[in-house]
Amino acid sequence: MLLWLLWFAIALPAGAAALAVIVYGGNRWFLLIGRTSDGHHQIELACDACHTSVFGGPEVLQAACVNCHGAELQAVNDSHPQSKFTDPRNAERTARLDARFCVTCHQEHRPRITRPMAVTLPDDFCVICHQDIGEERPSHKDLSFATCASAGCHNFHDNQALYTDFLRKNAKQPDHLPKPRIALVERRARPAAGARALVAADADAPDGHRSEEAVTAWAADAHALGGVNCSGCHADKQAGWVAAPGLATCRGCHAEQAAGFIAGKHGMRLRDGLLATREGPFGLFKQTALGPMTPAMARVPMKPEANDTALGCTTCHGPHRFDLARARVEACAGCHDDAHTRAYFGSPHHALLEQEAAGALPAGSGVGCATCHMPLAEQRRDGRRHVQVTHNQNANLRPNEKMARGVCLNCHGLRFTLDALADAALVKRNFQGLPAGHVESIDWATRRTRKREAAK
């Protein structure tokens, strides 16, 4: 009897505490059924980011996947969208590989079977639908289906730089283009209508909040030139004077940059609705956000001294002087400490940056970390050219052929680009040297065209 009472005395409070953590949040480590993938570990304790409902099947998870990744897949013209598999004529195929749902290929919390790109299927899965590819493409006849996604050949989702016509069209480009395409975002800070450019004497921060250093930096930078005073960022109607405004303030004017930032690993923990804890009964739980990413949480090598740096807009840009040159290299290398980053400082790309700094090359010729990982994206809007920096540094990171069109092809030919991206050792050395191998996809594409043209 006493033992039973003891059991109840321990089990009931423990059960209640566990239930409260499940429902309201907190340290949910005991709920993780396996190591979370590299893409999601930052938000793994916000279970309801993906598990939006206790009820429902794969559709519920699918909606969560699409909520974060849908727009990106649409933007890259996804080669295998869900709509390709919903037609009943594909029933036999979907019975073998249900490609209507992301989780068929990307199961979470399954570390033992998780491969690069968070794929949890054996790497020959293409065979299920494309087993007769050898009949259509004799060049593919004796290839192993485990090699389809080898760098430079095919991706399941993004084939913008890999489709046959594109390969054919760009087949003859030299390794280095004679005229590298230099794109610059010209910072033309202009005051809004009715406002004027501000100078140091205009700074309206109250006494005690107006350091000379901050005012000098601000007065020389875009915000002052654009007519944005101290109060434009620091004064909040409810909170009063905010010493260190965060993402919520910045995105009031820089919505696209902020959206990109929270779509990538640097800012994903700051996505709206991601909570560490939610409001609970009797004031036991208070609503708290997940909070910013820090290098200490990262799974790639970081400098220990940067461990506690909370990532927000001003981490890379500086609080008052939004120095783009610093954001291009120094900000990245301030935290990242992997082989690729370290090798950058002896790389041909870095040499270009040094030559630009010395005035030997025109502005924009240098290649910094951000040149490739946060490239300028160009769009036509209302018939006008619109250029802005991609603030989601993961958008073109993996598979690395995603970097080909938006970055590499600005300066290099497609053949050289695909060969270089396929050489993992070369990537690790930050492109010091030449590609060791050759990806034959371009040769096959051009050969096939010649044969077909001859046959016609």
Site residues, other proteins (CB under 8 A): 77, 81, 83-84, 86-89, 91-92, 94-95, 136, 163, 165-166, 449, 452-453, 456
- Least CB distance to other proteins at residue 74 (A): 12
Q: Which of 251, 290, 249, 255 is nearest to 271 (CA)?
A: 290
Instruction: Give residue 46's identity as a one-letter amino acid code.
Output: A
Nearer to other proteins (CB atom), residue 131 or residue 147: 131
Nearer to other proteins (CB atom), residue 84 or residue 251: 84
Cα angle for residues 266, 268, 271 (degrees, 5° grid): 135
Q: Which residue has the tokens 């990538």?
A: 264
Give every CB contact of residue 105 below 8 A, 6+ residues apart in sequence. 99, 119, 120, 121, 125, 156
Q: Cite the DSSP H helix spans in 80-151.
A: 91-96, 102-105, 127-130, 133-136
Q: What is the DSSP string of 422-448?
A: H-HHHHHTTS-S--SS--THHHHHHHH
- Least CB distance to other proteins at residue 87 (A): 5
Nearer to other proteins (CB atom), residue 136 or residue 142: 136
Nearer to other proteins (CB atom), residue 94 or residue 155: 94
Nearer to other proteins (CB atom), residue 207 or residue 453: 453
Query: Hey, what are 168's tokens?
Result: 């054919």
Query: Hey, what are 69's tokens?
Result: 């990744």
End-to-end CA distance of the chain: 91
Q: Which of 64, 54, 59 is nearest to 22 (CA)?
A: 54
- Least CB distance to other proteins at residue 131 (A): 12
Q: Cite the DSSP H helix spans in 25-87.
A: 58-75
- Least CB distance to other proteins at residue 126 (A): 13
Nearer to other proteins (CB atom), residue 163 or residue 345: 163
- Least CB distance to other proteins at residue 85 (A): 10
- Least CB distance to other proteins at residue 66 (A): 12
- Least CB distance to other proteins at residue 83 (A): 4
Nearer to other proteins (CB atom), residue 188 or residue 456: 456
